Amino acid sequence: MAILSNALGTALRLVVQTGADAAGNPVLKNRSYNRVKPGAGDQAVYDAAVALAGLQQYPLQAVERVDQRSLVQAP
């Protein structure tokens, strides 16, 4: 049987470095922004992340796009 995929939502996650621990390893924190349009292109999402990162106190380490989808069996 075929499976159908339905978009539920998309979020943007910025991973920022807030400091270092006693061993010198980076301490990372996530900053999440919900309600991103699921149809938004990857370049547009990345550009928005870079713009938001410019407003952050901490340096940007990674940009993550989180897509949620439901899977249902086709009738």
- pLDDT per residue of the chain (75 residues) written in tens, 0 to 9: 799 999 899 999 999 999 999 999 999 999 999 999 988 999 999 999 999 999 999 999 999 999 999 999 988
DSSP string, 7-57: EEEEEEEEEEEEEE-TTSPEEEEEEEEEEE-TT--HHHHHHHHHHHHTTSS
Residue 20: predicted pLDDT:
96
Residues 6+ apart with CB under 8 A from 64: 12, 13, 14, 15
Residue 75: predicted pLDDT:
83
User: What is this structure's pTM?
Assistant: 0.81
Domain ranges of the chain: 8-70
